[in-house]
A and B are shown apart, each in its own frame.
Chain A
Amino acid sequence: MAHSPKVIHELEDKSNVVIRNILRIFEASRMGHAGGTMSLVEIVTALYFHHLHLDLSNCDWDGRDRVVLSKAHCAEAIYAVLPELGFVPKEMLDKYYSFGSQFQGHADRWCCPGIDYSGGSLGQGLSFAAGLAMSEKTKTALNPPNLHVTSTNMPKFIMQYNPAYRVFCIVGDGELAEGQNWEAAMFAAKYKLDNLINIVDYNKFCLERPTEQVMPLGPLDEKFRAFGWWVKEIDGHNLTELVDTLDLANNLYGDGKPKCIIAHTVKGHGIPLWEKLHLHYGRAEAVTQGLKEGKEIYG
C-alpha cells in the first residue's frame, strides 16, 4: 500500500516540473487562472505521473484512463503535463491563448491531443465523466471479456477490442453549486459506476469570494455519502496521501460505488502572492509579480 520515499520524491520532482511549465505558460500569456491551476498541481502530478493508464505512443489509445477536467478554466495544469508525456510539443507552452493554438483558453478536446473533455461551462464535467464510465460499463456488459456472447449485436469495433478503463473527474468546489453535479451524482450511484473517481479540488474560493460565502457546501463528505458514493477527504497537496488514496479507490473497484476524493487545497498554492490574493484570474500585474516569486522558489 504505502509507497517508497523514492517514488514520492520522484513525484515531487515531477510536480516541480509541472509548476515550472505552468510558470512558463503564464510568462507567455501574461494572464490566466493562476490560483485554481496551482491548487491542482499535486493532483495532476499524482494522476498523470503515477496513476493513469496511458499509452505514451498513442494519446487516443482506447484503453486509456479518461480524465475529465470539469474546471476547464484551469487547463493550464494539464497543459503543463502534456508536453512531459510527449502528446504536444513543448513550445506549445508559449502559445496558451494564441489563435490557432492547441492550448485554448479552456481545455478543448477538438484542438488538443490528450484532452478528453471540452469544458468551460461549469458543472457539466461530472455528467460527462459519468457518461464515459457508463460507456465502459455498457461495452463490458454487451461484450463481457472472455465469455461467449450470443445476444449482443454490437458492431465489430466494440466487439473486437474493448479494454476496460477508469474515469477520473476533477471538479472545483465552486462549481458544486451547479445542480447538475447532483443529477450526475444520483446517476452514477444508480448505475453503480465504481469505475468513476471524482476528485474535488476544494480550494475554498470561487471567482470573487470564499465558497463559504458564495454558497456553503458543507458537509460535503456527508452529501456525497448520502448520494451513495464512497468518500475520502485528504490533503490535496500531499503526494503521499494522494497516491495512497487513488490506489485505495482503485482497489475498491467492484464495490458498485462511485468514488469521491475531497482534496483540500489552497488557491494559488506554492506562490506566496497568489496564495495571499486567492488569485482566481490573474491579470498582468499579479501574474508578473507571482512569476518573480515563483522563479526564485522553483528555478
Chain B
Amino acid sequence: MAKFNKYVKIGPATASAAGAEAGMLKVVQKHPNVMVVLEDGGMPALDWFKTNAPNQIIECGIAEANGAVIAGALASEGFIPFLHASTFAVVERAYNQIRQSILIDRFNVKILGRDGVWGVLGASHCIVEGIGITRVLPNLLIINAADVVEMEKAFIAMADYIGPVYFRLEDTSPAPLRIFTEDYPFEIGKAYQIKDGKDATIIATGLMVSEAIKAIDILEKDGIDVGILNMSTIKPLDEEAVIRVAEQTRAIVTAENGTIIGGLGESVATVIAEEAPAVLIRVGVEDEFSQSARIPTDDKDDLKIHFGLGAEDIALSVRECIAKRDKLKIFRK
C-alpha cells in the first residue's frame, strides 16, 4: 500500500460537482455581491439563487459574447460575476470578449468552463484544448481541482482572489477518487506533493490525479517508487515545485485531460528545460479532437482507452521515462 503524505486519504470515486455546489454556497455567504450570469445553462447552487437571490441572476441566453462583456461590466461595478457553460461556448465563443472586456482591465470575473475530453456530446462539446487556449492569456488564473474536497476549497479560494479566473470543471468525465482530507490546506499557486517517490514523479492535474494514484499501485508491484505532484493551479505554475521534483528524480511524467499541445505538459517542459533538466513524457491527447462515448463504467471507458489516459498508460510512460533517464549519461548518479 502506497504511503501518502499528510492531508491525503484515498476514498471511493465521488463526483466533484458536489464540491462546486458546496463551495458556491459558502462563497455567497462570504461574498454577497456574487452575480450569476447564465448563458442558457446551469450554475453551481443555482437553485439557492432562484429561491434566495433572484435579483442576482442575469440570463443572457445563447449569446456568450454578450454574456462575457456583461460580466466584465458587472465586475467593473464591484460585483463578482460567475459565468458557466461548456468551454467551447463560455471561452471559445467569447475569446476576444474575455480578452478585451475582462482581462485587459483585470475585471474580477470567474469563468467556469466544462472542459476535458470525456462526454457523450462529441467533438463539438468535449474539449481538448481548454488549458492551452487559456494559458496564453495574460492576467488569467487557471485552476483545475483534483477531487471533491479540493473542488470546494479551490472554489472558495477563487472567489476570495480578486481578479479573473478560469476554473476548469471536468464534470462530464468519470468521477475522480476522493483524495484529500477535510483539513487539506489548498492554496492558489501551490502544487501539493501527494506522495513522495525516489524513482520518478507524475505531475498531474484534475481528474488525472486519480489516474496517477491508480498508476502508483501498478508500479509499486514492480518495486518502482513514484511520487505525485498535484498541479491544481495551472497558471501561475508552481515552478519551485516542478524544479524540486525534477532535481529529485530527473524523470517526470505529466498527465492531463486534454491535448498535450499547449497544456500542462508544455508548461512543465519549459520549466524543466530552463531550470532543472530531466526526462519528460507528456500523457494526454495527441493533437486530436474528442468524440462521443457512452458514460464510462468501471470496466468500460472507451475514451480513456482511445486517448490512452488511464492508469496503465501513465504507468507505461513512467517506465519509459525511467528507462530513458537511465540511458542518459548526464543523469547517471
Query: Provided the pairs A131-B73, A134-B73, A154-B33 are in contact, do residues A108 and B66 lie with their beta carbons within 8 angstroms?
Result: no
Q: Is B18 an interface residue (CB 8 A)?
A: no
- Interface size classification for chain A: 20 to 34
Is A127 a contact of B101 with CB atoms below 8 Å?
Answer: yes
Is the contact region of chain A dominated by helix, strand, or loop, or is it mixed? helix
Among candidates B33, B55, B56, B69, residue contacting A124 with C-beta atoms closer than 8 Å: B69
Asked if A129 is at the interface of the complex by the 8 Å CB criterion, the answer is yes
Nearest A residue to B62 via CB reads A183
- The segment from B76-84, B263-271, B273-281 found at the interface with A is B76-84
- Name the B residues within 8 Å of A131 (CB-CB): 69-74, 76
- Distance of A154 Cα from B78 Cα, bound (Å): 11
Q: Which of A130, A135, A136 has the most CB of B within 10 A?
A: A135
Could you tell me the distance between the alpha carbons of A121 and B97 in the complex, rounded to whole angstroms?
A: 8
A138–B104 contact, CB under 8 A? no
Indicate if A118 sits at the interface (CB-CB under 8 A): yes
Contacting residue for B69 out of A109, A127, A154, A158, CB 8 A: A127
| Interface flag for A99 (CB, 8 Å) | no
B 39-79 to A, binary, CB cutoff 8 A, 1 in contact else 0: 00000000000000101101011010110011111101111
Q: Are A118's CB and B73's CB within 8 A?
A: no
Closest A residue to B65 using CB positions: A180
Q: In the complex, A183→B66 CA distance in Å?
A: 6
Pick from B56, B69, B71, B100: contact of A120, CB below 8 A.
B100
* A109 touching B96, Cβ below 8 Å: no
Task: Check if B69 sits within 8 Å of A155, measured CB to CB.
Answer: no
Within 8 A of B (CB), among A232-256: none
A183 contact set on B, CB distance < 8 A:
60-61, 63, 65-66
> Bound state CA distance, A153 and B97, in angstroms?
30
A116 to B107 Cα, complex, angstroms = 13
Cβ of A119: which chain B residues have Cβ within 8 Å of it?
100
Query: With an 8 A cutoff between CB atoms, is A38 at the interface?
Result: no
Candidates B63, B104, B106; contact of A108 at CB < 8 Å: B104
List residues of A (76-131) whose CB comes within 8 Å of B's CBs. 108-110, 116, 118-121, 124, 127-131
> Which residue of B has the minimal Cβ distance to A119?
B100
Interchain pairs with CB closer than 8 A, number: 100
Contacts of A129 in B (CB 8 A): 73
Bound Cα distance from A214 to B194, whole angstroms: 59
Residue A217 at the chain B interface, CB threshold 8 Å: no
Q: Is B287 an interface residue (CB 8 A)?
A: no
Q: A129-B73, A142-B55 are in contact. Are A135 and B79 (CB under 8 A)?
A: yes
Residues of the A chain whose Cβ atoms lie less than 8 Å from the Cβ of B72: 128, 131
Q: Check A118 against B70 for contact (C-beta < 8 Å).
A: no
Let me know if A127 and B74 touch, CB within 8 A: no
Whether the Cβ atoms of A157 and B78 lie closer than 8 Å is yes
Contact B78 A138 (CB under 8 A): no
Please give, as numbers and ranges, the residues of chain B lying within 8 Å of A121 by CB-CB distance: 96-97, 99-100
- Top-6 shortest CB links A-B: A131-B73, A127-B69, A183-B66, A135-B77, A183-B63, A131-B70
Q: Is the CB of A128 within 8 A of B69?
A: yes
Interface presence of B32 (CB below 8 A)? yes
Contact partner of B74 among A110, A124, A135, A155, CB < 8 A? Answer: A135
Given contacts A109-B105, A127-B101, A128-B69, whether A138 and B55 have CB atoms under 8 Å apart is yes
**Contact flags B95-113 to A (C-beta < 8 A → 1, else 0):** 0110111001110000000
Q: In the complex the two chains form, what is the Cα distance from A184 to B69 in whole Å?
A: 9
Complex contact B100–A118 (CB within 8 A): yes
What's the least CB distance linking B21 to chain A, in Å?
A: 19
Q: What is the bound-complex CA distance between A186 and B60, given in angstroms?
A: 9
Please name 19 pairs of A and B residues whose Cβ atoms are closer than 8 Å in the assembled complex, sorted by A.
A118-B100, A119-B100, A124-B100, A128-B70, A128-B73, A128-B101, A129-B73, A130-B66, A131-B71, A132-B77, A138-B35, A138-B58, A138-B74, A142-B56, A157-B78, A158-B33, A180-B66, A184-B66, A187-B66
Cβ proximity bits A147-158 to B, threshold 8 Å, 1 near / 0 not: 000000111011
A50 contacts the other chain (Cβ, under 8 Å)?
no
A1 contacts the other chain (CB 8 A):
no
Closest to A178 in B: B65
Query: Which of chain B's residues has its CB closest to A129's CB?
Result: B73
Contact with B along A179-214 (1 / 0, CB 8 A): 110011011000100000000000000000000000
Q: Which residue of B lies closest to A131 (CB)?
A: B73
A226 within 8 A of B: no
Taking a contact as CB atoms under 8 Å apart, the answer to whether B101 and A138 are in contact is no
By CB atoms of chain A within 10 A, which of B56, B69, B106 has the most?
B69
Cross-interface CB contact of A155 among B32, B58, B60, cutoff 8 Å: B32
Given A118-B100, A124-B101, residue A130 in contact with residue B73 (CB < 8 A): yes
- Nearest A residue to B32 by beta-carbon distance? A153
CA distance A192 to B100 in the complex (A): 26
